[in-house]
Structure formats: structure tokens, C-alpha cells
Amino acid sequence: MTFSHHLQTPHPEHPFAETIRILGKGKKGSRALTQDEAYNAMKMILADEVLPVQLGAFLMLMRVKEETPEELAGFVLAARESCHLAGDSALVDLDWATYAGKRRHLPWFLLSALLLAANGIKVFMHGSQGPSSSRLYTQNVLAYLGLGVATTVEQAKTQLAEQYFSYLSLEQICPKLHEIIELRPILGLRSPVHTLVKLLNPFNAQYSIQGIFHPSYRSVHQQAAALLQQPHAAALKGEGGETERNPDMECLVQSVHNGELIDETWPALFSHRHVRAESLEPQLLALVWQGKSQDEFAEASIIGTAAVALKLLGKADSQEQAQKLATDYWLERDKKRFG
């Protein structure tokens, strides 16, 4: 028997192995993906062209190193293409991502969005129901406001036309991304998919707003939006990671307007910190909207969040004008829908 008989025919390397090698080749050998490499990697993932073990390795390597703006832009472009997202931008004025869920305070930002909708601004929300039973997720809370969750893209379009507001889950928008998000209880950590879905903008709205939890991601969202040539976008460290201004704290909003990056600090609205409620009672959302329950923190949060959105949308030229306009909207809400 010759030596050659002992040699096994080598297996050809899997095409996705190079992506993992780029990310994981040690402290000196590894590097970030280029935007094109990130695009190609996510295209393969969404086409089911990677093995489960490769997907897990990729998600966790990305999680440890954190996404660059170029990687995030590549991921988003691939997801939009793979999920056939090329919505008519005329259908939506403001794209609003809601994926974090609320744990410490009620999701007052929902009333901010409805305040905008009641004043002729078409708001589209997209999100997912996370694994945590201790958090309130948007799709589970809308019923307390008498609003139904859209179950198809067509239904979302109808809701936007009729009530200027709609929520559609990621599961309906892009099932494969939803499947990957659902891996969180298995992997124990969030993945880059949790970041990219906030920038999906399924209907291609001209204006987009996102809340983040970790401050370092704020500028990543801002720069990624610029790379994606998003005309107008804003990212802020929101209460609980949602797009919600905490009135007790200073709020840095990092935005992009036609390619120009702008950082703007909004002041705290109170000199003292409010004590959070011992438990979250979602029925309070409707009661506060209807004026049947008074909550200083809630009203300041609702108006303050709406003000940031109005400034982004170009409805006001200054913070003061935006805050006044949002306050006027709030005081006149009894004449509007959703009442």
C-alpha cells in the first residue's frame, strides 16, 4: 500500500468559510467586512446557503466585535433585496422601528406616534415580539388603544390610508430575519440582525427614526443611514432602547439630512428624576390619551418624543418650535381620531 492510499480526498471549502475567517482570524489577523462583503454574506444567509454552525459562528463573531456602519449598510441592502422590500415612499411619512420592548416604563412613544398620525403624518411601525416576558412589546400593547395589528403588507397599506398609522411585524415583512432574531434565547445574546432590522425601512419612507440602547450604536446608525442614502434619519438613546425621549435626561439625537451628519442635544425637561411605577399597567395608555389619568412623566415623554420627530420631519425649524407644536397637538388631541 502506497502512502497516497492513506490520503483522503479533501473537502472543498464552503464559500461562507472565508467570511468567518475574515472576522475570526485572531486579534491581528481579523478585520471588519467591507460593505460588499457584508452584503454578500447576508445574501447567502437569507438564501439559506450557510450551515447552522456557520450562522451561529458568524452572528457571535459579529456580536463580539460590533458592526461598522459599512457592514450594517451592506446587511440592510441585502435584506431589502432578499425580502423584496421596495415600498412606495408615498405611502409612509415616517418609518418607526420598535424592537426593544419596554420594561421600566410604559411605551409612551406609541402615543407620540398616534399624536403625529392624528395630525396627518403617516407613521409605519415595524417590530417583533421578543422572548422576554418582563417586557411590553408594541404588538401586544396596541389592543389597549383599540388598534389592530396588520397581518399583511396590503392590510398595512389600508391602515395607513385610513388611520395614518400601522404596525406590521417583522415575521410578515421578512420571515427569515424573524427566524434569526428568534435564535436569541438559544445564543443568549442579540445579534447584528437586531441592529439591521431597525434600518430596514420596508416602505422606503423619506424619514426614519430609531431608538438604541447602547450609546455607541447611535453614531453607527447615523453613518449607516448616510451610506444607505436615506434622505432623513435620526437615532437617539431611547428609554429602554425604544424610540422614546426620557424627559428626565438630556437627549443626544444624531441625524442625517441629505448626506449631512448633524448632532443635536435636547435638554432634560425636568430637574428631578421620576420614580418609576412598581408595575406596568398598559390600560393607562388609553386613560392618559383620553385625559382620564394625569401623569407628568408620561405627558412630557409623549410631547418630547413627538417634538424630536417633528423636528426631523421639518415641521419645525427649532427645538422650541417643535416642542410648542407637539404641545399644541397634545392639548388639541380630543378633537382628533384615536380619542
What DSSP element (H or E) covers 250? none
Residue 64: how many CA atoms within 13 Å on its side-chain side? Answer: 13
Sign of the torsion angle spanned by Cα atoms 285, 288, 292, 297: positive
Q: In the chain, what are the domain boundaries?
A: 90-172+204-335
Phi, psi of 91 (to 5 degrees): -75, -25
- pLDDT for 191-247, tens place per residue? 899 999 999 999 999 999 999 988 889 999 999 999 999 999 999 999 989 999 999
Angstrom distance (rounded) from CA 323 to CA 114: 16
What DSSP element (H or E) covers 109? helix 109-117
- pLDDT for 275-294, tens place per residue? 888 888 999 999 999 999 99
pTM score? 0.93
Domain 90-172+204-335, classified CATH 3.40.1030.10, yes or no = yes
Question: What's 126-180 look like in SS3?
Answer: EECCCCCCCCECHHHHHHHHCCCCECCHHHHHHHHHHHCEEEEEHHHHCHHHHHH
